[in-house]
Structure 1
Amino acid sequence: MYVDVRSDWLSYVDEVPRALVTANAVASLESLEQSPRHHHQKAQLLFTVRGVINCEVEDAVWIVPPQCAVWIPGGVPHTVFGSGEVECISLFIEPPATPELPNACCTITVSSLLRHLLMRANELPELYDVDGPDGRIVSVIFDELAAAPVEDLRLPIPGDVRLKKLTDLLIAAPADHATVAEWASRIALSERSLNRMLAEQVGMSFGRWRRQLHVVLALRRLSAGQTVQAVAMDLGYESASSFVTMFRKMVGKPPSRYLMERLDLPLLSGPA
């Protein structure tokens, strides 16, 4: 099951004469199945209550851990799928011109206030009174979205077919300790060419790009219930402490604290 992306539903959402349209929350699912690639005129906000949502656009994968949301601008082709037991809220938004909302896909941190507003928005009638209390709630949501901090939880996907192959190889064997030169030879490139192409296409060195991939894979596995020790071993780190050090440098917090801040919150469907 996934948030409905049938063409007739998307057309309907775009035609609803309101700045905010809600889709039913996806609750207590073992996984969120991958949706077909699609787009809509309205922007979409997917808020993860539980589990991890992954949003793929043409040049990147956005990871959305619990208590974060992904902002997908209108008209951007994308596909969405989940990791682990997923619970989310989906809002389709046609914001007014005043709020400084993102003009590109991004992951944002959801504050306690914004979280409660999004849950309240999920209960709004389809044709809510724009000039009444519901309309004021929508206006506050736009203000909070404009002020929400953006998190760097993106894995850039290069366009070159050889680099896409490298991405697949790294995902399939994240613990492989091959050198940059060895990875380059596996896709018929020199080390120099590989570094140059990565800099041009993803704006990162090989080392940083691979660490970003490890953060994405780690968040998926940790949110599914794996321990820090198990994830560290799966990703090829010599110890849990070396993995924690990498995660803290990339994200700003150790993994346990990062997830605890997001998981120690009430769920839509009640306590687990």
Structure 2
Amino acid sequence: MTEHLTLAVSAAKAAARHLLMLFEQRPRVEAKYSSQLLTDADLLAEKAILEVLEDRHPDHSIVSEESGIKQAQSPFTWYVDPLDGTTNFITGCAYFSVSIALARDDEIVAATVLNPVTDELYTATRGGGSYLNGQRIQCRETDRAAVALVGTDLSVNKPAYALKGQSLTEVLNQGCRAVVINRAPALDLCNIARGRLDALIDNGSRAVDHAAGSLVLSEAKGRVRNFLHPSWSPATTGIIAAAGPLLQPLVNLLGLPDATGTTPSRIDPPSHLPRTGLDPSRQHRGDAEHPSNDRK
């Protein structure tokens, strides 16, 4: 492992110890926003991660799910979600993870996603491949949406978003073998990388949700793009991710713009999601302009 990846894994394991301790207990739950939940587990896990990262690299910027932004004069930014899948955690479902990624400028260079319950540790470095507990992984290849098992998570905290999400889900249900909603995009991306899922469509995910998993998938021969933009920037809202050959058929199915700027006439895609660019200060989940406040 590289030094940065080793650090990320250490931080994830520190957080996982708190999550495991609290998982079988009845967590204290608060409403962070109108439709998003916060538990003491989120806060304890985040504190453990930040202590590890800041001790080693106090000069790095950090974008964290609960604490928001720590801006520094550095090309490096850590993207931290201490508990991706809070709703699952609260309801006793073991589909949640710690997700940590390091970006240099706009490129993710190291990532780890850890499920504390199953002890499945996903790791990846730019150009170094993807691994599950030290074993190389690769997504399965299919180019047929009709046989694909697709994960999705749609922003529904405002009526307009809900209507767009319902249209999207209807199209996927008609065009794919099955659609599942796991509410934990980091693990969904990793499960595409290992061949359990074929794709993820998420119109509201942000960097803390998808940064780590996007590198794990890319290094496992998967492909990622932003929801409304054919290019990929981890700091931009929304993601479409798939086993390599499947990405374009899904884009065509959904009627979204492709790399040529062509938009197939299929559905009316959401037009409300902003391109946030590289400004980490726009990544805090409390920012009212982002539709992803129901992620948890």
Higher helix share: 1
Larger radius of gyration: 1
- TM-score by shorter chain over 0.5: no
Structure-1-length-normalised TM-score: 0.28
TM-score w.r.t. length of structure 2? 0.26
